[in-house]
Amino acid sequence: MSSPIALLLGFSFTLFFKSPLVKYGNKVIQYLLKIAIVGLGFGMLVVETIEAGKSSLLLVFLAIALTLALGYVLGRLFKMDRHLSHLITSGTAICGGSAIATMSAIINAKGQTISIALGIVFLLNSLALLIFPSLGNLLNLTQNQFGMWSAVANNDTSSALGAALTYGDESLEIATTVKLSRTLWIIPLAILTMIFFKTKGGKLTIPYFILLFVGAIALNSFGIVPTEISNTTVLIAKRLLLLALFLVGTTLSIKNIKSIGFKPIAFGALSWLFIAAFSLTYILFRF
């Protein structure tokens, strides 16, 4: 099963049945993604991973910095709620739901504000998952180029890895590395958010699962884990990623999409289109 099919099946499920994971859906998705990412580490090597991280460092930094700046300007132009615009911008610039959850805890955002921000990010990333592989083929992107683009242009980890999985195994490895290096930028953004919003006692969540991912790469690189076990682990991780995408599809509904409103969707769409266009242009000229 391809990633877009898994997503569409999840969305179709909600049209006919009530999702059994309404309350815990997002938590289950996050756990599945973390387990899948650690599992994918058993199919990667230290040297290749470091090289991918180094080559994408400037791109990731520029994409995050420019998206944050654009989000601030658009927020003023659209006269958006300060908390909502910051959550959408943070999710777009770094890593979707994880960034939104972290920043919302720091600025003490209201539940409705968090829900709207998450809804917009998941909606746009679902669209990206469906169209990115076709665009990659149309532009004749290499596995390396597409993996890097998917990791930088897609906000949420599920969509970034899902699109890369559809494009190819090498693309998936690149996307996983670059996406996780991008995730680490949550920490400096969280500190800046505390300063900007002048919050005290904000909660800072550090993505510790990245250490497990690095450990899995090390075990595979030094041949500590037998090849058969590593290959099986990677296969299971890919299946868990598809399951996570199915569950992402169940979180989408026509009713929820309609309730978001035009202004927040337009704000999120412009930010997302910018980071997608900027990163693609950079990759085409530099890689």
- The terminus-to-terminus CA distance of the chain in angstroms comes to 30
Give the pLDDT of residue 172: 93
pLDDT higher for 84 or 21?
A: 84
Closest CA to 51 of 177, 186, 161: 177
Confidence of residue 33 (pLDDT cuts 50, 70, 90): confident
Give the pLDDT of residue 183: 81
Q: Which two tokens stand for residue 64?
A: 């995050």
Q: How many CB atoms lie within 10 A of CB 239?
A: 14
d(CA 250, CA 205): 26
Average pLDDT over residues 164-189: 89
Confidence of residue 12 (pLDDT cuts 50, 70, 90): confident
Give the pLDDT of residue 254: 72
What residue ranges do the domains of the chain occupy? 26-286
Residue with tokens 């599945």: 32
Statement: residue 150 has pLDDT above 90: yes
Confidence of residue 43 (pLDDT cuts 50, 70, 90): confident
Predicted structure pTM score: 0.82
Give the pLDDT of residue 118: 81
Statement: residue 240 has pLDDT above 60: yes
pLDDT higher for 33 or 233?
A: 233
pLDDT higher for 41 or 135?
A: 135
pLDDT digits (tens, 9 = 90+) for 57-101: 999 999 999 999 999 999 999 999 999 999 999 999 988 777 887
Contacts 24+ apart (CB under 8 A), 190-198: 190/102, 190/103, 190/106, 193/86, 193/90, 193/103, 193/106, 193/107, 194/106, 197/86, 197/106, 197/107
Question: Among 195-204, 212-221, 237-246, 263-272, where is mean pLDDT lowest?
Answer: 195-204
pLDDT higher for 103 or 153?
A: 153
Average pLDDT over residues 161-184: 90
pLDDT digits (tens, 9 = 90+) for 88-138: 999 999 887 778 877 887 888 887 788 788 888 888 888 888 899 999 999
The percentage of residues in the chain with a pLDDT greater than 90, rounded to a whole number, is 38
Which phi-psi region, left, alpha or beta, contains residue 140 (left: φ > 0; alpha: ψ -120 to 50)?
Answer: left
Output the average pLDDT for the chain.
86
d(CA 196, CA 141): 39
Give the pLDDT of residue 21: 64
Average pLDDT over residues 199-223: 75
User: Do residues 19 and 145 make contact, with C-beta atoms less than 8 angstroms apart?
Assistant: no
Give the pLDDT of residue 202: 54
DSSP 187-217: HHHHHHHHHHHT-SS------THHHHHHHHH
d(CA 159, CA 3): 9
Which phi-psi region, left, alpha or beta, contains residue 261 (left: φ > 0; alpha: ψ -120 to 50)?
Answer: left
Highest mean pLDDT among 76-90, 243-257, 258-272: 76-90
